[in-house]
Amino acid sequence: MTVAEYEAKFTELAKFVPKLVEDEQDRVHKFEMGLKTEIRKQVVPYELTTYAAVVNKALIIEREVNEAFAERERNQKKRNRPAEFKGGNKNFKNPAQKPNKDRNSKNENGKCSRCGGNHEFANCSWVTGSCFHCGQKGHKIADCSQRNEIKSTQAMEGSQKPKTQGRVFALTQQDAQASNAVVIGTIPVFDIYAYVLFDPGATHSFISSSFIKTHNILCESMTTKFYVETPVGGMLSTDVICKACKIEIIDRELPVDLIVLDMRDFDVILGMNWLATYHASVDCHGKRENFQISGEPAFSFCGNQGTAFPHIISALQAGRMLRKGCTGYLASVIDICCPR
């Protein structure tokens, strides 16, 4: 499990035991204790006091650990290269047993005899002790500032699709509660009432994968791999999109393409791409979205004044919560004010 996956699971489970993580120091300590040993040993000495800082540091260290491991693997493969044969066994050549004079220059193929690079042996980083990334002396590749500036998305491998990156300001109910710049409400999406977050801090608009599955909404694959940066510095990836989704506000259809994302607290997040298209602005005090579409009269959508969860949950959601350990109560309610 990666740090980003662990952070998402930690946040999800923390909602069921809020008393254990309501103090920031307790939250930091419990998160640190769940990290892999090689990452935890490097994170703890920093004595970070905020949850966001610990998560960010763990992500950075994880990237360095993975890159160092990949570097060792590459070096190991170079050392284990098979010997060269030309003709029969009489012409056996072992590059490692070349005379010392060959080590002071390039080999017969024009490559460094130490690492196989396009440089003289005397200038090889293995010989000079310089950084393998920038070539400067005084530090190692793990401490190279130029290398650490590369975005984490550039270090991701394993996908042949081009990569696009987005950002969400609030991904959970807790994130939304920490900001007065978002609006929460219930609106029809594909004629199905959905719990929606209007988030100006999100670059794109998203729909929950569970909402898609529950209502059998058709989706399609994207031509690019899409990475989403979370509020705590983690990274989620997806390549599924739902085109021309029907969003209804005050009897007006305002369609949008929604990227399918694995999120729990909201069915839909409407970001800046949708807000800008329909000239929507957030009234932070009034908790409303004001629309001023060209050629149409202005209108507004009033969101929830509080940020509590909706009082109605589906049977599927209730079953999922029970399986996760939540307590369920079966009640029979009678309205005594009405005649029976």
Same domain? For 208 and 306 the reply is yes
Q: Is 152 or 74 the better-scoring residue by pLDDT?
A: 74
140 within some domain: no
Phi-psi sector, 250: left (phi>0), alpha (psi -120 to 50), beta = left
Q: Are 201 and 232 in contact (CB under 8 A)?
A: no
Residue 80 CA to residue 327 CA, distance in Å, equals 58
The pLDDT, as a whole number, for residue 248 is: 93
Domain count, the chain: 2
If asked whether residues 181 and 304 sit together in one domain, one would say yes
Share of the chain above pLDDT 90, in %: 15
Q: Cα separation of 233 and 240, whole Å?
A: 22
Inform me whether the pLDDT recorded for 274 exceeds 80. Answer: yes
Q: What pLDDT sits at residue 5?
A: 85
pLDDT tens per residue, range 138-177? 776 666 666 555 444 454 444 444 555 666 655 666 666 6
Q: For residues 308-320, give the mean pLDDT.
A: 58
- State the CATH number of the domain containing residue 207: 2.40.70.10
Express each pLDDT in 322-333 by its tens digit.
Answer: 777 777 888 877
Q: Output the pLDDT for position 53.
A: 84
CA 142 to chain centre: 23
| Structural domain contains residue 114 | no
User: Per-residue pLDDT for 102 more than 50?
Assistant: no
Same domain flag for 75 and 181: no
pLDDT score at 262: 85
Nearest to 62 by CA among 86, 37, 80, 85: 37
Do 191 and 318 have their domain in common? yes
User: pLDDT tens digit string along 198-239?
Assistant: 988 888 899 999 999 988 999 999 888 888 877 656 788 888
Query: Which pLDDT score is estimated for 284?
Result: 75
Structure tokens at 267: 């069915």
Is residue 177 domain-shared with residue 272, that is, in the same domain? yes
Task: Say which residue, 194 or 106, is predicted with more confidence.
Answer: 194
Is 155 a member of any domain?
A: no
Domain end (from 14, 45, 80): 80
Q: For residue 208, list its beta bridge partners.
A: 261
Is there a domain that residue 58 lies in? Answer: yes
Which amino acid is located at 121 in the chain? F
Q: Hey, what are 133's tokens?
A: 């990334």
Domain assignment of residue 47, yes or no: yes
3-state SS, residue 328: coil
37 lies in the same domain as 174 = no
Show the tokens assigned to 169.
């300001």
What pLDDT shows up at residue 309? 47
Residue 46 lies in a domain: yes
pLDDT of 92 higher than 60: no
Same domain, 69 and 183: no
Task: Point out the domain boundary residue: 80, 110, 129.
Answer: 80
- In which band, very low, low, confident or very high, does the pLDDT at 127 lie, cut at 50, 70 and 90? low
Domain that holds residue 31: 1-80
| Distance between CA atoms of residues 67 and 279, nearest Å | 44
Q: Is the per-residue pLDDT at 19 higher than 60?
A: yes
Split at pLDDT 50, 70, 90, the class of 110 is: low
Q: For residue 22, is pLDDT > 90?
A: no
Are residues 63 and 181 located together in one domain of the fold?
no
Cβ atoms of 152 and 63 within 8 Å: the answer is yes
Residue 146 counted as domain residue: no
Q: How far is 44 from 284, CA to CA, in rounded Å?
A: 38
| The two three-digit tokens of residue 149, written as one number | 């500036």
Q: Is residue 45 part of a domain?
A: yes
